[in-house]
Structure formats: structure tokens, C-alpha cells
Structure 1
């Protein structure tokens, strides 16, 4: 990987060989020494010969930017290349020029597929036989799908309250799904312990430095798709912090290389029941490590990528807001009925955050905004029913239909 310079610690700046398997910087206890992949952009630009015309078949259009060997055969299901949709009805309701990047269209229904493709490709490079991660459901399904594609054994750790719909996917993909009697953070800790003891390849985006690199392709795509009309704001939900960090890194790279003229401001949105990154960014004295929210995909009490997420917010001139579970479920319904986009709660959280930002004057009327929906509503049907309401029961008689719609007839 001559285009990859090093793995650099975001805390102390220590550098490590990217060709050696390493998750964190040993100069720091626990998992606080998060590593950043650094590149030789002269080599990347020399190799990147794709037209920036908005035609994106998959994230592997940006292979020159990804930290994989030149001879590597990517493990892919066609991830990336998701649509950027105009959202005129929702935009009119919120008084902004709105577009939605629907990453729920990825192969397993979630943005995390971008990371899983890179992760499993790297697992092959490191001659791993088993891949693992902790997850509230989405990363589990994503990794299991790509593990099946790449013929790896897959062992997943999930909290006991993970939604059944999300657990069905990895089970169908043939993964071992281990329900941990505890929280996501406890499942995460156990996955890290298993990695250390058994040598399994760990996909956890919170510590695996190559995961953010896959996620940053959403930033590359957005930069390409908005060339000439870069949005004022780019809105992401935040859980561990890797997705917003990756999206910012990808967009910033294209700006630094002159592919686009400017960058958007980043708005990071968290549930008030899992607010650690928001609290750290705003320098609150008491950061709550407890996570409790209907948006299970971002229900993280101890985010491992807080530094990268806060750096993205600060460098972009952006900010972070909080929304509650009622806001999130209302946003899920609002997104569906105005634009026909079916998002899980975490995927709808940025819409709730956009509404919050408009109400509080953070985003001005008429500004241009891109919201990134990270997962499909098919991931959590129970929450979708809470958001959408109940089925109306009627008799099998036309008069019942006529009575219901008499005002319209």
C-alpha cells in the first residue's frame, strides 16, 4: 500500500506501519488511542482517473483512495452509489433547500456496508479466518453479509435488547449471533476481549482504523454529486462518531484536492438519551455515559471516536444538537409521508436534528441542506409502527369504506 503513509494516533501523533495489524495506539490505556489512516495524495491523484460526472456505480469508484492493496480482490456486494434525492415537500415544510442521501439503499440496508466491504477485504489481506464485531444490529447484519460473500466465519456480539429484525439478517447470513446479557457497551467490551484472546479480525468501527476509510466514501460521493452547488450543511446522526468523521474526511479530501470549491458545515445529531459526543463538543462538565434511546443504532454510552467526530464538527464550522425519542419517531413519520423514504429511527434522527436547528436559528431559512439517512426502516418494524400509527380495521363491506371517506366522495 504505497499510497498509505501510516496509522497515526489522534491523541499523541505516534505513527505505525499500516501493513501491520493494529487497532489502537499502545501509548494510551484502553481504547482511547484511536488511529487515523494518512495518505500520500500525490500517488492517489496520479492513480485516480475516474470522471467526476456524478455517475457512481459503487464506492469502489474511489478505490485509489481506499487503504487496500493494489492486487486485492474487493469483497463487495455493490455498496455505495446510493441516490441523492431532492426533497421538495419536506424542504418546504422546514423552509430549506433539502436533499437526502438515502444510504438505506445499500446491500444490507445500511451505510455501514461501506465500512464492512473494506473491513472484510482487509481481513483477507491479514489472512484472517474469523471476523467479529459488537453491534446493536446494523453492523452485525452488515458484517455477516460481507463475511458470507468473502467466505469468512463471522461471530457477532449483540446486546440482549437488539431488535429482532436486525438479528434475523446475520442469522440468515450464517453468522454466530451471541446475545450478551447487558448493554451495547458490555457487548463491545466482550468483543474486544475475544479479539485479544482468539485473534479474530475485529470490524468494530470504533477502533478499526480502516472502517472510517470505507465510510468516508459517502463524503466522496456527496462531494461529487454536489459539485458546483456544495450544500451549506451536511447532517449526520452520531453514535460512536465514526460516520460523521468519515463523511467529513471524504468531503474535505475532495475540497483539498480541488475537486470541489468548498466544504459544508457539519451538523451532528444525537438522541438526548445517548449524548456523549454532543456533550463533549459543547464542553459540558458532566458527560453522561448511559445510553437509552429508541434509535438503537446510535445508542452508545461510551463513544470511541469522540475525538474524530468533534474534530469534524469544529473544522467544518458546524455544531451538534440533541433530539428526544418523540422527535425521532415524528421525524421518521414525517420523512415517510412527505418524501416516501422509509428510515429506521437512527436514519431519521438527522431530520429531527434539522428541525431542531431550524427552530433554534442554527440553520437559516433557505439554506441548502443534505441529510444522510443511514439505514432503512425495515431494520426496526416495531419502532416504525410506533411512528406510523395503527392499522384501521374495517368490515369487508364497501359501505364501511364509503363511511370513512364520505367527505371526499
Structure 2
């Protein structure tokens, strides 16, 4: 990987060999020094010869940017290349120019597939035969799907209250799914213990430095797709913090390399019951490390990538907001009814966040906004019913339909 210079600790600057399997900086065992992949962009530029014409078959169009060995065979289900939609009715509803990138259209229904493809590719190239992670559901499904594709065993740790719909996916993909009696953070801690004990390859985006690097292809795609018409604001929900940083890093790279002229401000959206990154950014005290929100994909009480998320907000000149679960459900309904885009609660949180940011004067009505949907709605059908209500029962008689719809 001549284009990868080093892994650098975000806390102290200690560097590590990117060819070795290192998760965190050994100087910070109690707080876990998260590592950042540093690149030689002269080499990246020399390697990248793809046309920026908006034709994106999958994320491997940007292989020159990805930290994988030249002889590694990608484990892929054609993740990435998701569509960017104009959203005229959503624009009317919110009162601001809107576009939406629907990354719920990835192979297992979630943006995380971008990261998983990279990590499973690295695991297979390194000769590992077991992969693991902790997850509220989406990463579990993603890892299980790609493990199946790559012929690896997969062992997943999920909190006991993870949605059944999300657990069905990894089970179908053949993973061992272990429901931990406790929170996501407890499942995460256990996954780290077994990684140390058994030497399994750990996909946890919270600590695996290569996960963010896969996620940043969404930023590359957005930069290419909006070339010449970059939005003023780019909006992500935030759980652990690595998704918004990945999106920012990818877009920033394209700006710095001169592929696009500018980059957007980042708006991070958290649930009121899982707001640690928001509090850190705004320098508020945050004492409750137990997440409490129906948006399970961002229900992270102790995010490990807070520094990277805050870095994205600061570097871009952006900010963050928090929204209630009711506002998230309203956003899910609004997005679906206005544009036909079905998002799980975490994927719809950006819509709630945009509405909040407009009401607080953070986003001006004459600015343009792009929201990224990170997960598909069928991941959590129960919340969709809560957002929209249940079906209306009628008798099997024409008169009942006439009573409802005749003028």
C-alpha cells in the first residue's frame, strides 16, 4: 500500500505501520486512542485515473483512495453508486432547496456496506477466517452479508433489544448472532474482549481505522455527483461519529485535490437520548452514557469517534443539533410521503435535523441542503408503523370505498 503512509493516533500523534493489524494506540489503553489513516496524496493522484462524469458503478471506482493492497481481490456486492435525488416536494415541505442521497439502497440496506466491503477485503487478504463486531443491527447485517460473500465465519454481538427485522438479516446470512443481555456499549465491550482472546478480525467502526476509509467513498461520490453545484450544507445523523467524518473526509479530499472547487458545511444530527457528540462539540456537560432513543442505529451512549466527528464539524464550519424521537418519526413520514424514500429512523433523522436547524436560524432559507439517508426503512418496520399509523379496516363492500372517496 504505497499510497498509505501510516496510521496516526488522533490523541498523541504516535504512528503505526499500516501493514500491521493495529486497532488503537497503545499509549491510551483506557480511553482508546483512535487511529487515522494518513495518505501520500501524490501517489493517490497518480493512481486515480477515473473520469469524474457522474457514472459511478460502485465504490471501487475510488480504489486508488482505499487502503487495500494492490493484489487484494475486493469482497464486494457492488456497494456504493447510490442515486442522488432532487427533492422538490420535500423542498416545499421544509422551505429550503433539498436533495437526498439514498444510501439505504446499498446491498444490505445501509451505508455501512461501504466500510464492510473494505474490512472484509482486508480480512480475507490477511488470511483471517473469522470476523466479528458489535452492532445495534445494521453493522451486524452488513458484516454477515459480506462474510458470506467472502466465505468467512461471522460472529456478531448485539444488544438484547435490537429490532427483530435487523437480526433476521445476519441469521439468513449464516452468522452466529449473540444477543447480549445489556446495552450496545456492553455488547461492544464484550466484542473487544473476544477479539483479544480469540484473535478474530474486528470490524467495529469505533476502533477499526479502515472502516472510516470505506465510508468516505460516500463523500467522494457526493463530490462527483454535485460537481459544479455543491450544496451549502451536507447532513448526516451521528451515532459513533465515524460516518459523518468519513463523508467529510472524502468530500474534503476531492476539494483539496482540485476535483471540486468547494466543500459543504456539515450538519450532524443526534437524538436527544444519545447526544454525546453534540454535547462535546458545544462543550456541554454530558454525564449520561446510556443511550435512549428509538433510532437504534445511532443509539450510542459512549461514541468512540467523537474526536473525528467534531473535527468534521469544525473543519467544515458546520455544527450539530439534537432532535426528539417524535421529530425523527415525523421526518421519516415526511421523507416517505413527499419523495417516496423509505428510511429507518436514523436515516430520517437528518430531515428532523434540517427542520430544527431552519427553525433555529442555523440554515438560511436561501441555502441548499443535501441529506444522506443511511439506512432502509424495512430495517425497522415497527417504527414506521409508529410514524404513520396502521391500515384502515373496511368491509369488502364498494359502498365503504364510495363513502371515503366520492365527492
Q: Shorter-normalised TM-score: what interval?
A: over 0.9
Partners of 1:75 and 1:117 within 8 A in 2: yes
Q: Which moved more, 1:84-93 or 1:55-64?
A: 84-93
Which residue is equivalent to 2:215? 215
SS in 1 for 2:25: coil
2:286: which partner in 1?
286
Map Cα deviations across residues 100-120 of structure 1 (whole Å, 9 max, x no partner). Answer: 000000000000000000010
Q: Does the aligned pair in 2 maintain the 1:95–1:366 contact within 8 Å?
A: no
Instruction: Indicate the residue corresponding to 1:308 in structure 2.
Output: 308
TM-fit CA distance, 1:67: 0.2
Q: With structure 1 as the length reference, what TM-score do the two structures score?
A: 0.99
Between the aligned partners of 2:287 and 2:20, the Cα distance in structure 1 is: 34
> How far did residue 350 of structure 1 move?
0.4
1:304-324 alpha-carbon deviations (Å, 9 max, x no partner): 000000000001000000000
Question: In the TM superposition, what is the alpha-carbon distance from 1:63 to its structure 2 partner?
Answer: 0.1
> Using the alignment, how far apart are the partners of 1:325 and 1:204 within structure 2?
26
Match of 2:47 in 1: 47
Partner of 1:353: 353
Contact 2:344 / 2:384 at 8 angstroms: preserved in 1?
yes
- Tell me the SS of whatever aligns to 2:177: strand
Report if aligned partners of 1:280, 1:287 keep a CA contact under 8 Å in 2.
no
Q: Could you tell me whether the CA contact under 8 Å between 1:279 and 1:287 is conserved in 2?
A: no
Contact 2:117 2:146 in 1 (8 A): yes
How has the CA–CA distance of structure 1 residues 31 and 67 changed in structure 2, closer, same or farther, with 3 Å as cutoff?
farther
In the alignment, the residues of structure 2 paired with residue 245 and residue 178 of structure 1 have an alpha-carbon distance, to the nearest angstrom, of 29
Structure 1 residue ranges without an equivalent (≥5) = none
CA distance in 1, matches of 2:179, 2:288: 25
Q: Which residue of 2 aligns with 1:227?
A: 227
Contact 2:276 2:286 in 1 (8 A): no
**Structure 2: distance between partners of 1:94 and 1:375:** 21
RMSD over aligned CA atoms reads: 0.7
Give, in angstroms, the shift of residue 140 of structure 1: 0.1
- Contact 1:293–1:299, Cα closer than 8 Å, also in 2: yes
Q: Does 1:169 align with 2:169?
A: yes
- Residue of structure 2 in register with 1:274 after alignment: 274
Contact 1:223–1:251 at 8 Å: present in 2 too? yes
Match of 2:323 in 1: 323
Distance 2:304 2:357 in 1: 26
- Counterpart for residue 401 of structure 2: 401
Contact 1:31 1:207 in 2 (8 A): no
Once residues 91 and 123 of structure 1 are traced to their aligned partners in structure 2, the CA distance between those partners, rounded to angstroms, is 43
Q: Name the CA distance, whole Å, in 1 between partners of 2:348 and 2:130.
A: 33
Report deviation, 1:378: 0.6
Secondary structure of residue in 1 paired with 2:236: strand
Map of 1:250 onto structure 2: 250
* Pair 1:102 & 2:85 matched: no
Unaligned runs of 5+ in 2: none
Match of 2:296 in 1: 296
| CA distance in structure 2 between the aligned counterparts of 1:69 and 1:311, rounded to whole angstroms | 28
The corresponding residue for 1:204 is 204
- Separation in 1 of the partners of 2:199 and 2:349? 36
Aligned length: 407
